[in-house]
Amino acid sequence: MSLRIAWGVEVNAIAECTVPEKILLAAFHLEELGQSPFSAEALIVSAWQKYPRTFGLKGYDEQYPDSNKVLASIMGEKGLARRGWLVKMGQKMYSLSHEGRRTVRRLLQGEDQPETIKNDRPVKLSKEHDKLLQGLFVASAYEKFREGRKQELTFADACRFWGITENLSSEALDARLDHLRAALAEVERQVGLGSANLSDGHNVTLDDITQLCDIHNHLLQRFGRHLTLLRNRALKG
């Protein structure tokens, strides 16, 4: 069962969401469209398009968004970033966190259904996705992240996780990063609330995939300057 099943369907559980929860669902929609990380401006528009009565400018709710309503729920002591639902990736750039994805899953499935509901049969992934996941699960970055050794992560760990080298062109570098993000998003959609069996016998669930997404986002945030230097070096070369 995919997390996408309830998007666009105004069921009671979603209609009764709090303002922060509605913004979280809007953020999830952006990631479903391939926008990760996304800007605060994109989130403002997404939230307004989905819930114009909640996020529209007073008296003009169907015409213009009220950016302050969204920004106030993103930032501050009680904001989505402080709650751990969003991860700040740069200046006014965000992505969903592992906890944010778990909350989205709960919202889309309804409060009364346990999070442990599984599909009866594991889904079958493509050979490309199977090979990709096997490589990520044995990467040094995955091991250090899972063991709580984030401080030991190096750019070399990140490069191995992403499958990049310092000799890549700027275009090839960005294409590789985009491909990994898109592949993880596709696997996440396929697995849904079920699981998938890899050819090496490893059974993976949504929690496993969202953890890989968290690692990817953490590495992007931590080594963003390194990636910028690589891009600039490639352009000069």
Q: Give the containing element (helix H, strand E) for 209.
A: helix 206-222
Whole-prediction pTM: 0.61
Q: What's the rounded Cα separation, in Å, for the pair 28 and 132?
A: 23
Domain ranges of the chain: 3-109, 127-236
- pLDDT in the model for residue 127: 93
Residue 107, pLDDT score: 83
The per-residue pLDDT of the chain, averaged, comes to 82
Residue 124 pLDDT > 80: yes
Instruction: Convert the pLDDT of each residue in 155-173 to its tens digit.
Output: 999 999 999 988 888 888 8
Contacts 24+ apart (CB under 8 A), 222-226: 222/153, 222/158, 223/155, 223/158, 224/89, 224/90, 226/155, 226/158
What pLDDT was estimated at residue 145? 92
Q: Is the peptide bond before 114 cis (omega within 30 degrees of 0)?
A: no
Q: Which residue has the higher pLDDT, 153 or 75?
A: 153
Percent of all residues in the chain with a pLDDT value above 70, rounded to a whole number = 86
Average pLDDT of the residues in 22-49: 88
Which stretch of 74-78, 140-144, 175-179 has the lowest confidence by average pLDDT?
Answer: 74-78
In this structure, CATH architecture of domain 3-109: Orthogonal Bundle (1.10)
Question: What is the DSSP pairing of strand 203-205 with strand 195-197?
Answer: antiparallel
What pLDDT is stored for residue 82 in this prediction? 80
Closest by Cα among 78, 77, 52, 76 to 66 = 52
Q: Where are the alpha helices (DSSP H) in 6-163?
A: 12-15, 19-32, 40-50, 52-55, 67-74, 80-83, 98-109, 127-137, 140-146, 155-162
Phi and psi, residue 96, nearest 5°: -70, 140
pLDDT over 60 at 119, yes or no: no
- DSSP notation for 12-56: HHHHT--HHHHHHHHHHHHHHTT--SEEHHHHHHHHHHH-HHHHE
Query: pLDDT tens digits for 5-26?
Result: 344 444 445 557 888 889 999 9
* Lowest pLDDT segment from 80-94, 109-123, 197-211: 109-123
Give me the pLDDT at residue 188, please.
81
Per-residue pLDDT reduced to its tens digit, 174-206: 889 888 888 888 888 788 778 899 999 889 988
Q: Tell me which of 125 and 90 has the higher pLDDT.
A: 125
pLDDT at site 120: 57
- What is the model's pLDDT at position 3? 44
Q: Which helix (H) or strand (E) holds 178?
A: helix 170-191
Q: What average pLDDT does the segment 103-128 reach?
A: 68
Terminal-to-terminal C-alpha distance of the chain? 47
